[in-house]
Amino acid sequence: MALDAPKLNSLGFANPPADTRVVVAMSGGVDSSVVAAQLAEEGYDVVGVTLQLYDHGAALAKKGACCAGLDIHDARRVAEDMGFPHYVLDYENIFKDAVIDEFADSYLGGATPVPCIRCNERVKFKDLLETARDLEADCMATGHYIQRKMGAHGPELHSAEDANRDQSYFLFSTTPEQLDYLRFPLGHLPSKAATRELAARYGLQVADKPDSQDICFVPNGNYAAVIEKLRPGAAEPGEIVHADGRVLGRHNGVIHYTIGQRRGLGIGGLSDPLYVVKLDVDAKRVIVGPKVMLSTRVIPVREINWLGDAPFTSRSEWHVSVKVRSTRPPREAIIRPVSDTEAEVELLTPEEGVSPGQACVFYQTEGSRILGGGWIWRGA
């Protein structure tokens, strides 16, 4: 007679919760606080870890961003209230080298970077994950809105139940090895309201804390000010030029513009609206043109992280859906692999404002599974 399979706990281990150690990445916000409180209440051996990612003194003057001094305090208070240990790790140098410097250089190169993806990839799911292993944790849990489901070939990455909160665009570079170790307890919740209800039930003082809106090291979304501080002299003036060669005006620095931008160009009086269609960093030129010039069908993508079951290059084409911006819905596309990490993506319906430095994330056309993604690396 076959023996029954051992009963698994809520994190997927055949141990009692008390014998399962889980490191929770705590930002001080309501999401990760609820994850930590929920696992502690279920009886797991919880260890909370918060990363100090940039200068504390500067952070204290800023509200509404992750990882600031107030957020470290909030995370520590949750740990005290729920009775589990909490550590703050100084990752300032790692964060600067792995995220901030590339952000500045990418922006100066005319790209539109997404530093939150790099932070997940290079800091949270790399260095912090290794720290969790050093602490002999069985897994690491985060407050991200995404789902990890077991498939025929192992753990799979799936979109969150709540499409409005889904963070799959920012987590496409999670590798199969990382996915094996990670847990996302909030991904199945129907709404952010449900998370706040849990926070209130656990008596957390962060239950009504507002969500952060900005990149944590970019106060008030002012990218240009941060770049100027990191790279003095970056905001050198130049010409605003029409795609047909006409000089239409002057600008105060290419770093103030992004592909697809229409407002704030300072070149009024023209009959048709114009958009930024290219940034020529070397010539210090902002090139503008009609909206039709923003339309892109073919996108070169590199640094691909593939999460499909079959090898990426085992087919000449993959029919999928892709997102080229976090705020846009997936669109049908064909991926044509060039190598294990490079491909050409053809959009069946052209997209506007596709920009180097953004991610191109792959989804199954049916269902919620994420198949990976890569980085858009030059204008098509």
Q: Map tokens 């964060």 to a residue.
A: 95
| Angstrom distance (rounded) from CA 306 to CA 205 | 40
pLDDT grade, residue 61 (50/70/90)?
very low
For the stretch 321-357, pLDDT in tens is: 999 999 889 999 999 999 999 999 999 999 988 889 9
As a whole number, mean pLDDT of residues 279-298 equals 92
- Measured CA to CA in angstroms, residue 26 lies from 18, 70, 72, 277, 304 at distances of 20, 13, 8, 40, 28
Hey, which of 112-116, 217-221, 239-243 has the most confident mean pLDDT? Answer: 239-243
| Angstrom distance (rounded) from CA 282 to CA 309 | 42
Mean model confidence pLDDT for the chain: 90
pLDDT grade, residue 312 (50/70/90)?
very high
pLDDT at site 380: 43
As a whole number, mean pLDDT of residues 169-198 equals 97
Q: What does DSSP assign to residue 40?
A: H
Active site residues: 119, 216
Determine the 3-state secondary structure of 75 from DSSP: helix
As a whole number, mean pLDDT of residues 156-180 equals 96
pLDDT at site 57: 45
pLDDT grade, residue 221 (50/70/90)?
confident
In contact, 19 and 198? CB cutoff 8 Å: no
For the stretch 119-140, pLDDT in tens is: 999 999 999 999 999 999 999 9
| Angstrom distance (rounded) from CA 33 to CA 204 | 8
For the stretch 78-97, pLDDT in tens is: 999 999 999 999 999 999 99
pLDDT grade, residue 232 (50/70/90)?
confident
pLDDT grade, residue 183 (50/70/90)?
very high
pLDDT at site 67: 46
Map out the domains of the chain with their CATH numbers. Answer: 17-220 (3.40.50.620), 235-289 (2.30.30.280), 295-376 (2.40.30.10)
As a whole number, mean pLDDT of residues 127-154 equals 96
Tokens of 57: 């003194």
DSSP β-ladder status, 139-141 and 21-25: parallel
Q: What does DSSP assign to residue 282?
A: T
pLDDT at site 359: 96
- Mark out the alpha helices in 120-222 (DSSP H runs): 129-134, 176-181, 192-201
pLDDT at site 246: 92
| Angstrom distance (rounded) from CA 131 to CA 346 | 40
As a whole number, mean pLDDT of residues 146-171 equals 96
Reply yes or no on whether the pLDDT at 286 is more than 70: yes
pLDDT grade, residue 228 (50/70/90)?
confident
pLDDT grade, residue 5 (50/70/90)?
low
Higher-confidence position of 177 and 59: 177
